[in-house]
Structures are given as C-alpha cells and as structure tokens.
Structure 1
Amino acid sequence: MPNGPETKQLLESYLLARIPFVSVRTVERGRTLEILGALADEKQLDVKVHTLSQGLRDVRTKQTVSEDKSLFGALEMAGEMFQSRSNVTVVFTDVQHLDEDNEVARRFADLATLAEERGGCIVVITAEPVWKSLQRMGMAVTLDLPDVDEMRYEIDAFLRPYRGAIRIEWGPEEYDQAASILAGVTKIEALNILATFVVRKSIVKDDLIALTKAKDSIFSELSGIERVQLTAGENRVGGLEGLRKWLDRKRPLLTMDLRDRGMRPPRGVLLIGVPGCGKSLSAKAIASDWQLPLYRLDMASVLGSYVGQSEGRLREALATADSVSPCVLWIDEIEKGLAGSGTDSTGITTRLVGQFLYWLQESRARVFVVATANDVRSLPQELLRTGRFDDMFFVDLPEPDERREIIQIYVRKYLRVPVPDELVAELVDMSEGFAGSDLHAAVTEIGYEAIRVGDENVPFDFYRRAFDNIVPLLRSAPERVEEIRQLRDRAIPASGRARVREKVGGPRRVVLG
C-alpha cells in the first residue's frame, strides 16, 4: 500500500501531468493538504483549496479567493478560473455523495471535462468511493495511515524540539515501540496523544503502556468486535506451565521490528481441550499479563441472514482488529462460526473460512489471536495447517500439582483466613477429575459460606462437602471427555508435561511445550 512519500510522488506526477481529475482516498484530510501544500511550494504550482468553513483559498499565500463557502459556489469559481487561465489546481475537501450518479457527481464530471480542455486539475479528498464514470476521467491514489517508519519519523520530529526542555527517557528502542503501538491511528491522533505527555514535562518508559490505553480509547466505539474489560489480578491461570513458558517467549516479539528478517509478528495460538479447563481464561490472562487491550470476536454472531452480510461483518471485525493493534483478539469457540466448511448450501461458511484464513496469513498487524475450540474435528482442515496459528495446545484436566495451584489461587482470592496445607492436600485428592471451573465452583461455595458466618467459623467439613457436592464432567459424561482426549496427539500439551506417543518398536516419551 502507498505510504506518505509514495503518495506524494504519485500526486506530484499527476499534478505535473495535468490529470483533469484526481481522487485521494483517505481519512486524513490534514495530512493530504500538507502534502499538497509542500508540492505547491516545491514545484511552484497554482493550487487553491476549498473547505466549507473557509471557502476557497490559495494554498501558498493563504489568501481568500472567494467568500462563497458553498460547494456549488466553489465549483462555479473553479470553472471561471479554468476558463481564464491554465495550470490551476483546485482541491475539494468537503464533498458528500460522490459515490453515485447524482447532480454533484455530474457537476464534477462537467468540471473535469473543462479542466482537461484548459490544462486544469481537480483534486477531491474523500474517504468514500467515487462514482465510476467520474473516476475513469482521471486517476486515484490512496493515502494510508502512517506506517511504522512514518510514525517513527513523526514521533521523533514532534519530540525533537522538547529535548533538553523536558525529561525524555525514551531511547531508540522505546521510539520503535511507540511507533509500533501508534501505527493504525492518524497522524493528528498520534501527535495529540504525545502532546498530553509533553504537558506533564516528562516522558518515561511506562508511558508506552499509556500509549496503548490512549489508542484503545480512540477505537472503543468501533463495531465488529467487543471490548473486554479486565481487572488487574482477576485473571490468574493455574497450571498450564508449558503454555505460559511458550507465551513468555512470544511476548517480546509482538512489538519488535522483524521486517529486516522478513518475518511477521507472532500470529496467535489455538487452544483445544476439555471444557472448563482454562482456555477462555487464558485469553484474558494473556491480555492482562502483556498489558494489551482484549477484544472478543463471537464467530456465531457474525453469521447474518442476508447474502454477503456475514462476510461483511467478518471483514469489518478483522479490519477493526487491525486498527486497534497491538491487541489480543479472543475468538471463543471458533468452531461455532467456521465448522462445516463446504456443507452449507449457500457457501457462506466456505467464504468465511477463506476470508479468515487470508487475514490470518497475510495481515501484518500486531494482533495476537487466541482462539479456543472444544471440538477441533469440526474445524476445516485448512485452519489447522502449519503456519496459520503459531502453535496449537491441548488443555487437559489439571494434574494434582495444578489443582493445588488453582485451589490456592481461589482460596487467596475469596477467603480471608489461611487454609492448612493438610486440608489443601485433602481437597486436591478429593478433586481428582475436576476441571478448573469445578475447582472454582467449589471454592466459591466456601467463600459464600465465609461471608455468611465469618471466615473463622467455616468448619473444615464444609470445605469437604463443597468439593464432594461437585459432579465433574469426567463423572457425568466420561465418554465426552474421552472423545475430546483423543485429540491430544494433535497438539502440544499446555501443561508442559511429557507425553507418550506410540511408534513401531514401542512407546517413546516426547517432551513438548
């Protein structure tokens, strides 16, 4: 995609070639006018710009050309200028409904015809498509949001005058991280965020976290994905040591500049396994530990009842995720939205899978995907191919040491008195076959009783009864657990423990994660 310098080069060639109609597709009107103003100065071009607030003005002299601020008044004035002299460029910034055949679009088409005859040029800055018949009269260029390199330059240029006047703790690494974080916002939004740091007269390394939060606030109302609010200390995960170590290795890579090696940032992880064992909680824990915003994409809600609606919703959601990056994108029970590829009569699922896989493979935005699935067999095989996700982990029922850790996490959270180690050991034994959600339910029941009668007054027998009353999935539906566990050999154990694989000549132990 073209960035600022490339867009400037294209606009320069179009203006010098006197292309009669040029559309600039962008949401950054101010940045486009800066580029056009620089070209007018460098190439001594006669450029006028129209805005509804200031009317028609000369870009170089800033003098008012016409007091009539209306669009049609500006169109008439542009026609008069084209008639009286050549090589005039008129820039329009506030044009609505130019995407279809209507009076406004036809007025522009007439003016473009006159511009072609008289060596004039019309430039329209718009965020919307342009009527096809009008666009074919000229050329189009897209000014994307600043990429990482441009943002790095803008940050440095903005802060340079303040060096020595305020405390700036950022070094080259922090500047690179700031550029990576702010990529995806407009230039003016980025500089406004930095200005709030400048007025405090100090910019410290911890402000990188504030940058992420400030960027998140800009996109908080965007549709397509749901913002998940996280509370500090509320999303600890017990066990899953293999997954946690793997994540620790991936975290620094998410904000590093990997382009010199031709590599993309970490793409994400697919978590499969027994329900209630921490897959969804892991998504929250990752976002909390990495201090990144968490967004949730509900694949089931993407499905619409009209032709093209589902694809449009998914496209909007993924574009939003790219815009808010760096972030964690949590796709819960992904099989509900992407299962059955090729089996629906309308082909919607097939198109959704293709669209999602293309984004997963090609997007370079720093979006770390955490997808969870209870039944990976219903997912299309293309999604499980190496290179889609960075890895796939199997989350099984917790082992005794993992159950101990999970119980202690919830005991510290819900109770105000210590629990003897002997009792904890007994609860660990009683909870054989429990999922993490079962352990949470048991300790929650003890917490409710502690609130009712006081922590010191809860008898140890109540602890035992709370655990004894839980009916885990392994007991209520053992066949379902066994069916899910048949998928273990397809993924890395999230626990980090060695697993045994059968091979010719006998079993061998394989340590993964």
Structure 2
Amino acid sequence: MPNYADSHRDLDSYVSARVPVICVRTIEQQRALRLVRATATQPRRSNMPFWIYTRATGLRDLRSNTPVMDDRSLTGAMEFAAAQFTSRPNATLVLVEPDDLDADTPLTRHIAELARLADTNMGSIVLITDSPVWSGLQRLGMSLTLDLPDADEMYATLSGFLGDHRGHIPIAWTEQDIRRAAEFLVGVTEGEAVNLMATVAAKGSVEEGDVLRLAASKDRIFSDLSGLTRVPLHASDHAVGGLTNLRDWLGRRNLLMQADLRSTDLRPPRGVLLVGVPGCGKSLSAKAVAAQWQLPLYRLDMGSIHGKYLGESEGRFREALETADRVAPCVLWIDEIEKGLAGAGDSTGVPQRIIGQFLFWLQESRSRTFVVATANDVRGLPPELLRKGRFDELFFVDLPDARDREEIIGIYYRRYLKAEPDPAQLARLVDLSEGFAGSDIEAALHDVGAEVYLAGGIGNLRPAFVEDTFANTVPLSRNNPEQIEEIRAWGRDRAVPAGRAAPTPGRPSTTRRIVFLDD
C-alpha cells in the first residue's frame, strides 16, 4: 500500500518526465493538494509554471494563489491552458475534481485533446479525483493512488496536533500512547483523525484512557457499512460464566491487541474459532470480548452477502472484509460460520471462492480486527479453516461442569432476581442443572424472575419454586442427546477446552492444552 512518501516520489518522477496526463486518485483532496504543492515548489522547478483550477476559486497560480483570470468556468481555464501549452514549455495545469471523468464524454475528450497539445511542448495535466478515469484519457499518461495515512504518517499528524495544544491543556499521553492511537486510527482520513482528536481535546484535557476511547469512537464516522451490523453492547455483556481457559487466553491476547508491535515481526491477534454445544456461551463470548476490550462489535451476517448474480456474493464479502479493516480496531463476530462457508455439493463454486477470500484475508490482513467466529455444526466446517495458523486458536465450548454452573447460576440469579442465592439453595440448583447449557440456566432463572415480578417480590413465592423450575426444565442435551454427544466427541480431541477440562476416566487425554509462559 503506497504511503504519502511513496506517492510523493512517484508524482515527482512523473512531473520530471513531463508525462502528459497524471491521474492522482484519492478521497483526500487537501492531502493531495499538499502533495502537488510540495512537488511544484521545489527550487529546481521555480521556472516551471503551475496553475490550479477548482470550481470554488477558478484558475489560480498554484504557488502564489493569485487569480489568473476572472472567468471561473472550467472551459475558460482549459482555453487559457491551451494557449499556454502552445506558447511556452514545461507548463502544468492541475484540475481538481472535474465532473464526469469516468466515461467517454465531450469533457474527457476535450481534456485528452488538451493533453496531446501539452505533450507537444512538454506540458502536463494533473487530475485530482476520487472517481475512475476514462481509459481513453488514462492511457495517455500515468496514474497513482494516494492511500489513506499509514501508522507513521498518522503518528506525525497526532504529534503535530498535540504539539499545538501543549501548554494550553493538560496532555497525559506518552510517546507509546501516541503510537497506539496512530495504529488505532489507521483506516481514516487525515481530516477525520484531526476531528476525532479535536473531539477528545474539547473536554479540556487529553488523558491516558482517551487512547481506547478514541479507538471506540472511530467507528462513528462510518455509516451504511456494507455487510456489517453494529451490535450495541450493554453492561450485562461483560458477565460470562465458566469458560475459564478461554477467558484467560483472551486476557493475554488483549495485551497484544493494544501493544506497539512495530519493532517486532508479530502481527496483531487474528481471532478465535469457537465450536461446541449450542447455548454454552459462544455468541456471548463475542460480546464479552468487545465489552471488556472497549472495542466496537460488528456482526458479519453471512446470509446477507449472498447475491443472485455471478460474482455478487464474492464482491459483497470482499467489501465487508475491507470495511472491517477500515473500522479496526474492532471485534468482528461471525455467528454460525459453517452456514456461510459450507461448500459441499454446491455446484456454483461460490462457497469455495468465499472460503478462499476469507482464508487469504485471515493470513494477510494486518489490521487490528479480532475475529470471533462461532460454529455449532462442526461437520459443516471446511477442513482448511481448522488448520493451525488460520485463527489464533480453536476452542471447544462444552457443557459447563458443576463449578461453572455455580458461577453461571450466580450471575443470572443476581440479574433476574436482584438477590444473592442462598448457599444451600445454590448447591441444590447446581445438582438439578446437570446437563444444562448456559442458555438453559438463563431461561430457567428468567422464568423465575418473571414470576417474582408478577408476585411482587421473591418473598411471595413458594420456597421450592426455583428448584421446581429447574427440575421441570428439559435441556437440549436431553432432547437431542445423540447430536450433543457427537459434538462433544468431536471437540474432546480436536480443540482446546474453553472451560476446565478433566480427562475421561480410563483413557489418556489427547486434548491440547494452553501453555502460558512465565512473564
């Protein structure tokens, strides 16, 4: 991805070579103008005339910004340039955002004729635009794309902003904080970055915690995200019961997510694939990660990307991944990923091409987009997705054990009954919930909470009502034991346990374990 320095070098060489048409593609007009001015104001070009035309200001001298003529029309500017190209060598005309450059129109043909005239006397036309350029015009010269600022350029922008405000407001950011903020803001324009920083500074100080708040507020500048849905987070999303191994692993990954990795060969964490029993906390984990890491959460709906035309699904999926890169840092939640990537028996080849796109993105993207993908039907997962190195880790989410059920019951008891469970009652509920998934426990206590509300308080219910509700709840593990056991048998030997795993009596454990190195 060419940065500002690379684009400056390319533009300088094109101007030196007197290329007749130079197309500068960018969405950042002011940054592109700064690039052109830096090229034009070099001492060795002091005798070369440069003019610039915009709809708002008409034709002006690029260096002095003085008007050249009263006529502010594009036609008048092109007639003036035609006369100059004929009478003097090495003249350059810069046109900013002319209309209708993407098609064969009278305007594009007029510019092409003007470029041929400029070529006879070593003249050049520079087009600054964010739209494609008609091939008949583009083939007369060279093109360059000014991409969004990289981390180094963003660091310079933030440093300049903070330097202007030092002495006026308290600034607690260290050099490392500025570096982290710069990496978080990769994917926005220079102007958007300045606006975000100005919003932070408007409260009268720049504090250490503003680094994460800056990252979380970055997504507010994006709207109509293709294929992505912003998921609102609530206070309850912080609470996840059980899944001890997974939670410990995520805590360490958060340190890498925030770290400055420029001096290493490490890349930011890519993500985690959660497979296992339905209702045991896979989807809740995606919300918990975003809530605890203070990052925005986006859900990629695999069903919404599929189109009826050839190549439409692949295009939508590619656009969604590119958008995820732009809104990074963020958590990207892909729920039931097997339904979107299952390709067995599909004669169109679309699932296979989407799998290829996704695997390439997982391998090559360097944005701080942390993927939390969940799957219930492990048999539908393509085998290439399970290879080590695609995701950072593959976790199996099993039915919670007694200790995990005790923690989960405590969480939902406090949420729905607004009280602490009695220890003796809690022990009975743990026994009654054998074989329950986390969602079964939540459903049972939600029903209890509803009855407590209708009865006017927990004291108005029978003492055994809570136990009776648990006893009358039939979990999925009893409704469909064959399917659940098949899922559990697959996960025991193929994935890291998300919770505390005990080896099966009478057989050695072949399950992978996480090894944490001492700090």
Which category of TM-score, normalised to the shorter sequence, fits these structures?
over 0.9
* Paired residue total: 509
Q: CA deviation at 1:305?
A: 0.8
The within-5 A match list for 1:171-182 is 171-182=174-185
Q: CA deviation at 1:63?
A: 0.8
| Residue identity matched to 1:36 | V
The within-5 A match list for 1:62-73 is 62-73=65-76
The within-5 A match list for 1:384-395 is 384-395=386-397
The within-5 A match list for 1:324-339 is 324-339=327-342
1:445 aligns with 2:450: no
Deviates more, 1:237-246 or 1:51-60: 51-60
In the other structure, the counterpart of 1:245 is 248
Distance in 2 (alpha carbons) for counterparts of 1:117 and 1:95: 23
Contact kept in structure 2, 1:146 and 1:184, CA below 8 Å: yes
Contact kept in structure 1, 2:25 and 2:146, CA below 8 Å: yes
Contact kept in structure 2, 1:334 and 1:372, CA below 8 Å: yes
The residue matched to 1:344 in structure 2 has which SS?
coil
In the other structure, the counterpart of 1:399 is 401
1:275 aligns with 2:283: no
Deviates more, 1:123-132 or 1:391-400: 123-132
Distance in 1 (alpha carbons) for counterparts of 2:410 and 2:221: 39
The within-5 A match list for 1:466-481 is 466-481=469-484
From 487, 494, 500, the equivalent of 2:498 is 494
Contact kept in structure 2, 1:242 and 1:497, CA below 8 Å: no
Distance in 2 (alpha carbons) for counterparts of 1:251 and 1:460: 43
1:232 aligns with 2:198: no
Give CA deviations for 1:195-226 in whole Å, capped at 9, x if unaligned.
22333331111111321233110014322211
Identical pairs, percent: 52
Q: CA deviation at 1:509?
A: 6.8
**1:410 to 1:351, Cα distance in 2 relative to 1, 3 A:** same
| Residue identity matched to 1:241 | T
Q: CA deviation at 1:66?
A: 3.2
In the other structure, the counterpart of 2:415 is 413
Q: CA deviation at 1:372?
A: 0.4
**1:409 to 1:259, Cα distance in 2 relative to 1, 3 A:** same
Contact kept in structure 2, 1:20 and 1:115, CA below 8 Å: yes
| Residue identity matched to 1:276 | G
In the other structure, the counterpart of 1:190 is 193
| Residue identity matched to 1:407 | I
Distance in 2 (alpha carbons) for counterparts of 1:26 and 1:363: 21
The residue matched to 2:235 in structure 1 has which SS?
coil
Distance in 2 (alpha carbons) for counterparts of 1:67 and 1:279: 67
| Residue identity matched to 1:512 | R
Contact kept in structure 1, 2:237 and 2:284, CA below 8 Å: no
1:213 aligns with 2:216: yes
The residue matched to 1:340 in structure 2 has which SS?
coil
Q: CA deviation at 1:404?
A: 0.8
The within-5 A match list for 1:248-267 is 248-267=251-270
From 361, 370, 373, the equivalent of 1:371 is 373
| Residue identity matched to 1:378 | G
Q: CA deviation at 1:500?
A: 5.3
The residue matched to 2:314 in structure 1 has which SS?
helix
| Residue identity matched to 1:427 | L
Distance in 1 (alpha carbons) for counterparts of 2:73 and 2:415: 64
Distance in 1 (alpha carbons) for counterparts of 2:291 and 2:177: 21
In the other structure, the counterpart of 2:6 is 6
Pairwise CA RMSD? 1.7
The residue matched to 2:94 in structure 1 has which SS?
strand
**1:189 to 1:501, Cα distance in 2 relative to 1, 3 A:** farther
Distance in 2 (alpha carbons) for counterparts of 1:112 and 1:500: 78
The residue matched to 2:237 in structure 1 has which SS?
coil
1:297 aligns with 2:303: no
Give CA deviations for 1:375-399 in whole Å, capped at 9, x if unaligned.
2221222211111100000000111
Distance in 2 (alpha carbons) for counterparts of 1:212 and 1:174: 12
Unaligned stretches of 5+ in structure 2? 515-519
From 485, 488, 495, the equivalent of 1:485 is 488
Distance in 2 (alpha carbons) for counterparts of 1:212 and 1:185: 11
Q: CA deviation at 1:300?
A: 1.9
**1:336 to 1:183, Cα distance in 2 relative to 1, 3 A:** same
**1:51 to 1:300, Cα distance in 2 relative to 1, 3 A:** same
1:53 aligns with 2:56: yes
| Residue identity matched to 2:452 | A
| Residue identity matched to 1:27 | I
1:108 aligns with 2:111: yes
Distance in 2 (alpha carbons) for counterparts of 1:475 and 1:231: 32
Q: CA deviation at 1:88?
A: 1.7
1:430 aligns with 2:444: no
From 352, 362, 374, the equivalent of 2:354 is 352
The residue matched to 1:202 in structure 2 has which SS?
coil
Distance in 1 (alpha carbons) for counterparts of 2:453 and 2:220: 37
In the other structure, the counterpart of 2:513 is 512
Distance in 2 (alpha carbons) for counterparts of 1:305 and 1:36: 44
In the other structure, the counterpart of 1:383 is 385
Distance in 1 (alpha carbons) for counterparts of 2:71 and 2:338: 58
From 438, 449, 461, the equivalent of 1:458 is 461
**1:53 to 1:311, Cα distance in 2 relative to 1, 3 A:** same
Contact kept in structure 2, 1:496 and 1:512, CA below 8 Å: no
Q: CA deviation at 1:173?
A: 1.3
In the other structure, the counterpart of 1:77 is 80
The residue matched to 1:263 in structure 2 has which SS?
coil
Q: CA deviation at 1:310?
A: 0.1
Q: CA deviation at 1:115?
A: 1.6
**1:339 to 1:67, Cα distance in 2 relative to 1, 3 A:** farther
TM-score, reference length from structure 1: 0.96
Q: CA deviation at 1:511?
A: 6.4
In the other structure, the counterpart of 2:517 is none
